[in-house]
A and B are shown apart, each in its own frame.
Chain A
Amino acid sequence: MIDTRPLIVGAGPAGLRAAITLSDAGLHPVLVDHAPGIGGAVYANLRAQPNLTPKLTREARILRQDFDRVRPRVDLRLSTAFAAFDQTGTALLTGQAGMMFKPRAVIFATGARERIQPRPGWTLAGVSSAGALQIALKTTGTLPLGRLLLAGTGPLLYAIAAQMVAADRPPVAVIETGNPLRHPLMALRLPARVLTEATRYIGQLLLAGVPILSGTDLTRIETRNGALIAHTSRQGRWAEISVDHIGLHDGLARNDFGISAEMTGQTPVFQAGDCRSVLGRWAAEEDGKRAAEQVLHALNATPGRAAIAPDQRFIKTQTLLAKLFARAPALAAPELPDDTVICRCENRSLGDLKQALQTASEQTQTTARTLRLTERFGMGPCQGRQCLDWVAALTPDTTSFADLRGNRWPIKPVRVRDILDAPDFTADPSHQDLK
């Protein structure tokens, strides 16, 4: 018999809630995550040591309890990557608990991508996403040695800064491109729990004396005497800050790389949570439940509702937050030097991109295919997750983002040995059909 259990990719709030919902309906889902623990990026501490900061929120505790309850019915495969899905309905998982099987439905709950604007020096060691610092803090309770700086824009920056304060490692400063504190009345329209959380973070930062430099750009990073020097600019005034680590964050974006309609064939496939629409962890959980109900509906296991749109409240909140942090397009291309690296995988610069676009425009427009094949944007191991937003922003509008992306598997790089080692349950008669 063939293994056809439904597959959920990603064990963050959306994936966990989807697994709970499917299990409660009597199914035995396969839940896969390439991280060694459950919780995704937002609840990376769901299984960490109890003494670690930050403490779990009430919602996280409920999620954990619910998942603990259905745990025996879920085939949880951690340290295992979802590698591929093809039009024959075959899914390939690789890593610690890899396998090939034919899930009769798939839910992608792969979370958001952190958007990080290219800046000179952003490829230096010691410069990471702010999210990476947060994960380290949540999973191990520690941060890298030395002075920390956070820069960019968006609400997550303040959450991370506050968590650093709570861990007794306050950042040297938060450099905020936008000016969110300038609109207190607009902020009051945020839902109470968002506002409470935001106020708490800001309060923690003010109490700890962490300067919030709003309306300020981090324009350049260089190394000097073993330290990172952050060059900032505020209304034409320049300053330098010497630190050891810089966490960058310029917002979140949906993460649907590698997934395309051609790949999914006849199998019902749904997206849930931030990979579908970046609405945060509470919305993600609800969306996970919704996706699971759609799976049940598609499989006729129970009458499910065909809900499509996420709750309007979450959309309103995110729209309001976007307004609060609004500023001119972050990547002011003419201001960046040409040697700024745009594609971190293939080491391709802004100058390379400009030259390609200029050469082409003398005769005819450049195509997305040319930007990929000849210029190598989007062709490295991250598959364009880091550069294509910026390449698309700099490219005439005829080159759409969708054309730039290859949407090809593997979804992330996987080792040949892992592909070959994955046991095949797509046709093996000796294998137990678990559900």
Chain B
Amino acid sequence: MSVQTILWNGTPIAFLPGDTIASALSRAGITEFGLRQTALPAAIFCGIGQCQNCLVSIEGIGVAEACLTLCDAEQSVRSLSDHRLTESAHD
């Protein structure tokens, strides 16, 4: 069985069935998901969708909690502080 991946800011990251974006990223050693607008890091904190600290931009879904969203093969996921984000999304 080939390993399935998501694209994190363009880089392939492997995920397992049942992985959320947060669990796939943290297994890959990625704990910081960019910066929030308050300059604090975006990262997993509560793990159950309450704290809103782990928001990322997910292709086909939009801004969502990394801890609640299951991975989908070849899905592009970007940090909200990634400035390449909206240029493509809004023209």
Contact = CB atoms under 8 A, between A and B. Distances in A.
Q: Is B one of A's binding partners? A: yes
Interface of A: 34-36, 41, 48-49, 79, 81, 111, 113-114, 123-129, 131-136, 139-140, 142, 144-146, 245, 255, 341, 344-347, 380-382, 385-386, 412-413, 415, 417
B51 A385 contact: yes
A413 B63 CA distance: 10
Q: Which 9 A-B pairs have the closest CB atoms?
A: A132-B47, A125-B32, A347-B38, A125-B43, A381-B52, A144-B26, A125-B41, A125-B31, A126-B31
B40 interface: yes
A144 B67 CA distance: 13
A135 B48 contact: yes
> Chain B interface residue count: which class?
35 or more
Contact of A131 (B29, B41, B46, B70): B46
Nearest to A347: B38
A144 to B, nearest CB: 4
A410 to B, nearest CB: 12
B73 interface: no
Interface centre among B38, B40, B47, B69 (most CB of A within 10 A): B47
Contact of A245 (B31, B32, B50): B31
Interface string B60-76: 00111001111000000
A128 B49 contact: no
B18 interface: yes
A132 B48 contact: yes
Given A123-B41, A341-B40, A380 B52 contact: yes
B39 A114 contact: no
Contact of A382 (B19, B43, B50, B62): B50
Given A35-B49, A132-B48, A344-B40, A144 B68 contact: no
Given A133-B47, A344-B40, A412-B49, A36 B32 contact: no
Contacts of A347: 38-40
Contacts of B62: 415, 417
A382 B52 contact: yes
B27 A128 contact: no
Contacts of B69: 36, 79
A142 B23 contact: yes
B29 A145 contact: yes
Contact of A79 (B19, B42, B46, B68): B68
B17 A144 contact: no
B5 interface: no
B44 interface: yes
A113 B44 CA distance: 15
A34 B68 contact: yes
Contacts of B39: 347
13 contacts: A35-B48, A36-B69, A48-B18, A123-B40, A129-B46, A132-B48, A140-B19, A145-B28, A382-B52, A385-B51, A386-B51, A412-B50, A417-B62
Given A129-B45, A136-B47, A347-B39, A142 B27 contact: yes
B18 A49 contact: yes
Contacts of A386: 46, 50-51
Given A140-B16, A415-B62, A128 B41 contact: no
Nearest to A145: B29
B9 interface: no
B31 A382 contact: no
Contact of A128 (B18, B28, B47): B47
Given A124-B41, A382-B52, 14 more contacts: A36-B20, A125-B41, A125-B43, A126-B32, A132-B45, A135-B48, A135-B67, A136-B22, A140-B16, A142-B27, A347-B38, A386-B46, A415-B63, A415-B64
A412 B63 CA distance: 13
